[in-house]
Amino acid sequence: GNSVTQMEGPVTLSEEAFLTINCTYTATGYPSPFWYVQYPGEGLQLLLKATKADDKGSNKGFEATYRKETTSFHLEKGSVQVSDSAVYFCALRSGAGSYQLTFGKGTKLSVIP
Amino acid sequence: NAGVTQTPKFQVLKTGQSMTLQCAQDMNHEYMSWYRQDPGMGLRLIHYSVGAGITDQGEVPNGYNVSRSTTEDFPLRLLSAAPSQTSVYFCASSYRGPAEKLFFGSGTQLSVL
């Protein structure tokens, strides 16, 4: 089956620091990767996604490039803010026609002023 | 502007009791799903539905039943609660499936004593 591995947290950064959260996966077919974010006390929200190899998803200053050759979809942001403190989940849909989304374990990010 | 509504927000059960977690969406989404979130485990898919009258199992379906009699509602039933079902439960929906943005409810925190 599919699996998603993301870097373990928690991660603590100072405001304006650079953020990278690694995500790699194993899957059959043509997978589609996603990043979801969960703010304290809320449900998950889609942050960004990619639909084909070498696609770059971006939103709110976050970026991730779908690298098929390394089966990775690492999340980056050049300058984090306190408001970015949340839990970030990498997720994968295994391919066209799949109705299941496989999530990583989540990485908790805390940004301090 | 309700989106995905889950009730109740909190619930405490005794082992062996039954209950139904409610989920309703007002966006005319065909796809609905239930996840459980456990510490260090990320989100795991319990059941999903691709339309009224159609349901299927996810990764961890044992101990849970679902039905989809209308497009709007997708209740999750625990027939005989066990302590292992202590978790936070999220309902999510999208227009056609997980390739698109999933809209999550705010969650139900369930404790089984």
pLDDT in tens, A82-101: 999 999 999 998 776 778 88
Tell me the residue type at B36: R
Give the model confidence (pLDDT) of B23-58 as tens digits: 999 999 999 999 999 988 889 999 999 999 999 999
Report the C-alpha gap between A42 and A45 in whole angstroms.
9
pLDDT: is A68 or A16 the higher one? Answer: A16
Is A103 within 8 Å of B44 when comparing Cβ atoms? yes
Interface of B with A in 20-59 (CB under 8 A): 31, 33, 35, 40-45, 48, 50, 56, 58-59
CB B47 within 8 A of CB B55: yes
**Residue type, position A9, single letter:** G
What 3-state class would DSSP assign to B85? helix
Residue A84: left (phi > 0), alpha (psi -120 to 50), or beta?
A: alpha
Tokens of B71: 């497009």
Largest CA distance in chain B: 38
Q: Note whether B92 contacts A105, CB cutoff 8 Å.
A: no
Contacts of A60 (CB under 8 A, 6+ apart): A47
Q: What is the distance between the alpha carbons of residues A73 and A90, in angstroms, rounded to a whole number?
A: 8
Q: Do B58 and A100 count as a contact with CB atoms less than 8 A apart?
A: yes
The tens digit of pLDDT for each residue in B58-106 reads 999 999 999 999 999 999 999 999 999 999 999 999 998 877 889 999 9
